[in-house]
Amino acid sequence: MSDKAQLFLGVDGGGTGCRARIVDAGGQVLGEGKSGPATTRIGIAEAWASIETAARAAADQAGLGPSDLSRMDAGIGLAGLSRRGALEALNALPNPFNSRRFISDAAAACLGAHSGQDGAIVIVGTGSIGVGFLAGVHVRVGGYGFPVSDEGSGADLGLKALQQALRAYDGRIEETPLLATLLARFNRDPMEIIGWMDKASATDYATLAPDVLTHADQGDAAARAIIRSGAEAVDGLARALFARGADQLTLLGGLGKPLEPWIAPDVRRRLKPADGDAVSGALFLARSPAALTL
């Protein structure tokens, strides 16, 4: 490889980890690397340190040294980029790359899912969000954070399940196997649930979602009602993107596949598999003309 060969770096920085990939001008993968969480929620400096760690790990795998980072045009998808002041703070940090451009991790996933072309995605994991690039316009639906938003997400399913469990404890509704399982988890003590609730995060609520899915598959009435409600919320995100001009949509996230059978038929008919991942989307950003607005 020539010392002057053009290199591109794609980074997907999320709440659970950060992935980086280096490719040459022809798109050949030269190296990949990983590091810990990279989200503005943990701090700007901490997120950037994780990005640099993943980038250097990818460079090591590619047989490149630290000085080679200056030959790379970097596209970086980062969770929490919409927080006030986050982009400005990131751009103020020293830049080891030839160039760098930031985009949200969800937007990077959308670019990757549709090979940089117009398209839309709904991500359903711990949280939920709908994102699209439609006629050159970046569109966002939902994803404002649990508990005020993120409908249909793992956190939302867990919250609804716990609400139903407390109603069952009071005798207001029938206690199904799912609700009995959740109550047993807290020793059938509402005060224990309250103590847990005072400290619980969206991630904590999302740990209850697998029980909901399992019991729904077994025919549990309460679980099926919760899953139907979650699927209807996902349908709503998808239809909002269709109304904005999306033709097809990709369903992503850890709950995407489990919820797909519950999605309304008219929405399911317009689903398509992802062409690539969020790192692929970040690489598209890195290789795009600087004048392109994303």
Residues of the chain predicted below pLDDT 50: 1-2, 291
Tokens of 198: 């005072």
Residues 247 and 279 reside in one and the same domain: no
Q: Are 114 and 133 in contact (CB under 8 A)?
A: yes
Report CA torsion sign: 260, 294, 24, 3. negative
What tens digit of pLDDT does each residue of 264-282 get? 999 999 999 999 999 999 9
Residue 228 lies inside a defined structural domain of this protein? yes
Residues 83 and 166 reside in one and the same domain: no
Per-residue exposure over 241-256, b if at least 16 CB sit within 10 Å of its own CB, e if not: bbeeebeebbbbbbbb
Q: Are 249 and 139 in contact (CB under 8 A)?
A: no
CATH assignment of the domain containing 34 = 3.30.420.40
Predicted TM-score (pTM) above 0.75 = yes
Which pLDDT belongs to residue 294? 54
Tokens of 78: 């980062």
Which pLDDT belongs to residue 136? 80
- Rounded CA-CA distance 10/267 in Å is 31
- Rounded CA-CA distance 223/272 in Å is 27
Residue 41 lies inside a defined structural domain of this protein? yes
Residues 159 and 187 reside in one and the same domain: yes
Residues 281 and 245 reside in one and the same domain: no
Strands 128-134 and 119-124: antiparallel
Residues 43 and 101 reside in one and the same domain: yes
Closest CA to 76 of 61, 60, 62, 93: 93
Residues of the domain holding 59: 7-115+275-287
Residue 137 lies inside a defined structural domain of this protein? no
Instruction: Give the Å distances, CA to CA, from 20 to 43, 75, 113, 119, 150.
Output: 19, 10, 17, 23, 27
Residues 280 and 257 reside in one and the same domain: no
Q: How many domains does the chain have?
A: 2
What tens digit of pLDDT does each residue of 204-213 get? 999 999 999 9
Residues 15 and 106 reside in one and the same domain: yes
Tokens of 233: 């919320």
Residue 240 lies inside a defined structural domain of this protein? yes
Residues 189 and 111 reside in one and the same domain: no
Residues 180 and 228 reside in one and the same domain: yes
Residue 2 lies inside a defined structural domain of this protein? no
Residue 134 lies inside a defined structural domain of this protein? no
Residue 143 lies inside a defined structural domain of this protein? no
Rounded to the nearest 10 degrees, how much is the dihedral formed by the CA atoms of 229, 233, 239, 243? 140
Residues 182 and 96 reside in one and the same domain: no
Which pLDDT belongs to residue 290? 61
Which pLDDT belongs to residue 41? 87
Residues 88 and 38 reside in one and the same domain: yes
Q: 3-state class of 168 per DSSP?
A: helix
Q: Which residue has the tokens 């995605």?
A: 121
Closest CA to 113 of 247, 211, 219, 251: 251
What tens digit of pLDDT does each residue of 227-261 get? 999 999 999 999 999 999 999 899 999 999 999 99
Residues 31 and 106 reside in one and the same domain: yes
Residue 138 lies inside a defined structural domain of this protein? no
Which pLDDT belongs to residue 10? 98
- Rounded CA-CA distance 101/121 in Å is 21
Q: What 3 state SS string does 220-268 have?
A: CHHHHHHHHHHHHHHHHHHHHHHHCCCCCEEEECCCHHHHHHHCCHHHH
